[in-house]
């Protein structure tokens, strides 16, 4: 096996030279491109999922710890949200940062509107949501997450895109869920759902854009809002799913945007437990539990819904397990490297790309044979994001 | 409203000039591109779904009656299947036919493999399936649809891509369903399911790639194969769905690839009847019927599954109806123009593009307000296909 750490410097240098020496970037489709976050160096790699290689490294993106990104409608630009409040528009074809602003003091991610015209950032400090014009990053709307009578501001988490140029998000400190309709971005309509549950720590929307779910850190359950029937208000689901079991320390909060929906079931990380919960999306009741090797972080369905892939918090973060949906059993355990942080399936699911931060590598597997297809060097890689996300809701 | 017919010639000329005068095609993403088939002139238009405009017209594609296409993995190339057996690889960025072969005498479509490496064509004459290398159109496999003891060859219909570089198709004359595994394209493994039902006329695979369904012209029902459990064989579903009702003449066969799956229900055109059938995809039993304005041709779900859009056979082919999924009622009737042949949703469903052949136009609607966003001139347009299909199964 290649020892990727030896190749990191060379690869970075090579990519930079390749770009510098090429006056006109190559004409190419963007449907098989992706971006790998290199958190320690403030760089991103642009990768080609057909050729299985890195085609450029782009520097100058600031603090990329806990970074995420969304794509422009055409798949050419990645909007990278950095922890330092930076919002960078990266041109995948030219391999450069086209535009960059610092829009907050502490930010944890964002979303792109259904029609691609709006980019929304969710901010811890100052707590709130800002909405930008996708083309220019011009600020169009600023929605402070104020609550209570003293004008306190809450950290915002769990921002998701919903049909109709709406965004949905949760207020960690206030225990509220807000829905913003930005059809007229200069005068957004904000609907606030109070008493949604204590300490929502992340959220997601189902792939059809119908159900918004927030995980609750302060309670043993989850909050759910039916976007087709917001008048019904927020409903509590999975109440007491950890009841009667010993509370475990939580080493890393699960990421909810990765929650898997396959067929009529959702597969949800059970916070603190070594379990994946199976939830019936018709009744929103628990339908089963699957024992896994550690505290789940990402629980993701292969695009055909036949497998669920799970990675874990420390100390089990060197492993990935694969669950067969039909039998609800673990059928494979892989060891991609130390500190597995993220997984991303190719658009139609024949492969999965997995980042192993502490081994400075990205490992690509065949999802049927589980054979290793390639190992790519990367500097402390975290999130991996493919351009197909541009055409999907909730990514 | 623009009278599109006046603008067709100008538009064609303009597009040709624009390409001829431009040495280097513009660098751009391919995620918001699409192709409109112009059946009468053997041309295709390349369209931009963000700018809502046509960016090029490409001639020289032969007989495009009943044409369809699939996309390369990167979204740059469209593989156009013509009725004359032509298979053309069109470069969307350069606006030219990069390669073209005549691979059969009479062909009705094709599919692209999960990993994008293989293009399969389904042929009426000589009846069979041919598989090509996507890059070069080099022939890799030729699978004649022979049946019976005399070596007759059947027309092939309902070709669909399935996970694992497999294709599935039906033999109209033989009443069989075949599954081909082309992981090793030089030596494909073909599994044949005989007595699948009389005269399968088209087929589709569910968006998760699990269930292959063939419509039967010679029987009152459908054939279904569970690709996760092919050992269970072909099962008959919806047996006798038209029983006891007066048989109607069929003006146009429905196209099954457009069948809609939304939530746990599939919405299926009832051949000959003015109805859409609702089928429970857990039991594969009929769960309801929705009366519509004519014989349905395409029955398509908006990407969020909240609406089903239906167009119709002659004489009702000037209308499109919109069904609300929750209430199972028609909530809107639109009149895009004469001879509506196809509909295509933008990737995240905010708009739909509809071709009206006899009015030489494509009409784009907002799917929430139903407002007309733009009317584009096109010469006898039929199929409309957006590049997002590259990342999806069954398209």
List, for residues A176-201, the tens digit of each pLDDT value: 999 999 999 999 999 999 999 999 99
Which of B226, B263, B348, B368 should we substitute to test contact with A (largest number of A Cβ atoms within 10 Å)?
Answer: B348
- Tell me the per-residue pLDDT of A150-159, one tens digit each, with 9 for 90 and over: 989 999 999 9
Instruction: Label residue B259 exposed, middle or buried (CB < 10 Å: 0-12, 13-18, 19+).
Output: buried
Q: What is the pLDDT of residues A125-136, one digit of tens each?
A: 999 999 999 999
Domain ranges, residue A170:
103-252
Closest to A167 measured CA to CA, from A148, A146, A183, A187: A183
In total, how many domains does chain B have?
A: 1
- Rounded Cα distance between A5 and A379, Å, is 8
Asked if residue A145 belongs to a domain, the reply is yes
Closest approach of B173 to chain A, Cα-based (Å):
31
At A244-290, the pLDDT tens digits run: 555 556 666 667 766 788 888 999 888 889 999 999 999 999 999 99
Q: Kindly state the percentage of chain A with pLDDT values over 90.
A: 79
The percentage of chain A sitting over the pLDDT mark of 70, rounded to a whole number, equals 90
Distance from CA of B319 to the nearest CA of A (A): 25
Q: Once rounded to an integer, what is the mean pLDDT over residues B44-60?
A: 98
User: What DSSP letter does each residue of B66-126 carry, written as one string?
Assistant: T-EEEE-TTSSEEEEEPTTSEEEEEETTTTEEEEEEE--SEEEEEEE-TTS-EEEEEEEET
- The verdict on a CB contact (< 8 Å) between B30 and A25 is no
Half-sphere exposure in the Cβ direction for A160 (13 Å, CA): 31
pLDDT at B261 over 90: no
Indicate if the pLDDT at residue A1 is higher than 70. Answer: no
Residue A152 inside a domain? The answer is yes
- Do A294 and A274 contact (CB within 8 A), yes or no? yes
- Decide if A78 is inside a domain: no
Contact assignment for A114 to B348 by CB distance below 8 Å: yes
* Residue-by-residue DSSP string for A253-281: PPPGGG-EEETTEEEEE-TTSSEEEEEET
B74 closest CB neighbour out of A31, A210, A350: A31
User: What is the residue-wise DSSP string for A312-374?
Assistant: E-TTSTT-EEEEETTTTEEEEEE---SSEEEEEE-TTSSEEEEEEGGGTEEEEEETTT--EEE
CB nearest B29 (choices: A50, A76, A165): A76
Task: Give residue-wise pLDDT tens across range B321-368.
Answer: 999 999 999 999 999 999 999 999 999 999 999 999 999 999 999 999
Q: Which of A25, A31, A50 sits opposite B387 (nearest CB)?
A: A31
Q: Name the least confident of A114-118, A137-141, B170-174, B206-210.
A: B206-210
Q: Is residue A136 part of a domain?
A: yes
Q: Cβ of A208 and B75 within 8 Å? A: no
Q: How far apart (Å, rounded) are the C-alpha atoms in residues B213 and B115?
A: 22
SS3 (DSSP) at B140: strand
**ipTM of predicted assembly, 2 dp:** 0.91
Distance separating alpha carbons of residues B163 and B111, to the nearest angstrom = 12
CB contacts, 8 Å: B33 with chain A: 74
What sign does the CA torsion over B341, B346, B349, B353 have?
Answer: negative
Instruction: Give, in degrees to the nearest 5, the angle at Cα A383 between A51 and A337.
Output: 80
What pLDDT sits at residue B41?
95
Buried b vs exposed e over A89-110: b needs ≥16 C-beta within 10 Å? Answer: bbbbbbbebeebbebbebbbbb
B16 within some domain = no
Kindly report the pTM of this predicted structure.
0.92
- Predicted confidence at residue B322, as pLDDT, reads 98
Q: B347 to chain A: which residues are within 8 Å by CB? A: 73, 390-392
pLDDT, residue A367, reads 98
Give the domain CATH number at B132. Answer: 2.130.10.10
pLDDT tier at A13 (50, 70, 90 boundaries)?
very low
Does A30 contact B32 at a Cβ distance shorter than 8 Å?
no
In a domain, B185, yes or no: yes
Closest-CA distance of chain A to residue B52, Å:
12
* Most B CBs within 10 Å, among A391, A393, A394, to test the B interface: A391
Q: Which residues pair with B78 in a beta bridge?
A: B71, B90
> How many C-beta neighbours within 10 Å does residue A51 have?
11
A368 and B29 in contact by Cβ < 8 A? Answer: no
Nearest residue in chain B measured CA to CA from A367? B164
Task: Indicate the residue of B27, B72, B391 with minimum beta-carbon distance to A25.
Answer: B27
Residue B211: the pLDDT is 95
Q: Is residue B78 part of a domain?
A: no
Mean pLDDT over B62-85 rounds to 96
CA nearest to A346 within chain B:
B391
Sign of CA dihedral B281, B287, B293, B294: positive
- Is pLDDT above 70 for B189? yes
Beta-ladder partners of B132? B119, B139
């Amino acid at each position: 096996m290649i020892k990727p750490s030896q190749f990191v410097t060379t690869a970075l240098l090579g990519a930079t030279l390749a770009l510098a020496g090429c006056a006109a970037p190559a004409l190419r489709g963007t449907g098989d491109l992706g971006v790998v976050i290199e958190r320690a160096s403030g760089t991103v790699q642009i990768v080609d999922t057909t050729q299985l290689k890195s085609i450029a490294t782009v520097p100058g993106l600031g603090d990329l710890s806990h970074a995420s990104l969304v794509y422009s409608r055409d798949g050419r630009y990645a909007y990278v949200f950095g922890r330092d409040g930076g919002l960078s528009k990266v041109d995948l074809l030219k391999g450069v940062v086209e535009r960059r602003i610092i829009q907050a003091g502490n930010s944890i991610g964002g979303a792109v509107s259904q029609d691609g015209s709006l980019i929304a950032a969710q901010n811890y400090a100052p707590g709130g949501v800002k909405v930008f014009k996708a083309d220019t990053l011009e600020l169009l709307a600023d929605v402070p997450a104020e609550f209570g009578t003293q004008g306190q501001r809450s950290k915002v988490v769990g921002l998701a895109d919903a049909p109709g140029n709406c965004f949905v998000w949760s207020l960690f400190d206030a225990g509220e869920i807000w829905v913003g309709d930005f059809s007229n971005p200069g005068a957004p309509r904000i609907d606030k759902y109070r008493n949604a549950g204590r300490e929502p720590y992340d959220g997601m929307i189902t792939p059809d854009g119908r159900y918004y779910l927030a995980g609750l850190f302060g309670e043993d359950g989850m909050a759910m809002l039916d976007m087709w029937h917001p008048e019904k208000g927020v409903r509590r689901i999975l109440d007491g799913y950890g009841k009667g079991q010993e509370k475990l320390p939580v080493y890393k909060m699960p990421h909810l945007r990765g929650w898997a929906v396959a067929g009529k079931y959702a597969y949800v990380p059970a916070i603190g437990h070594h379990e994946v919960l199976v939830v019936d999306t018709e009744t929103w009741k628990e339908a089963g539990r699957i024992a896994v090797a550690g505290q789940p972080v990402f629980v993701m369905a292969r695009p055909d819904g036949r497998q669920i892939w799970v990675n874990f918090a420390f100390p089990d973060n060197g492993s990935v397990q694969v669950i067969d949906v039909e039998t609800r059993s673990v059928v494979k355990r892989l060891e991609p490297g130390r500190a597995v942080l993220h997984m991303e399936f190719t658009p139609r699911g024949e492969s999965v790309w997995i980042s192993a931060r502490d081994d400075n590598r990205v490992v690509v597997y065949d999802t049927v044979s589980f054979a290793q297809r390639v190992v790519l060097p990367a500097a402390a890689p975290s999130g991996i994001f493919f351009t197909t996300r541009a055409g999907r809701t909730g990514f």
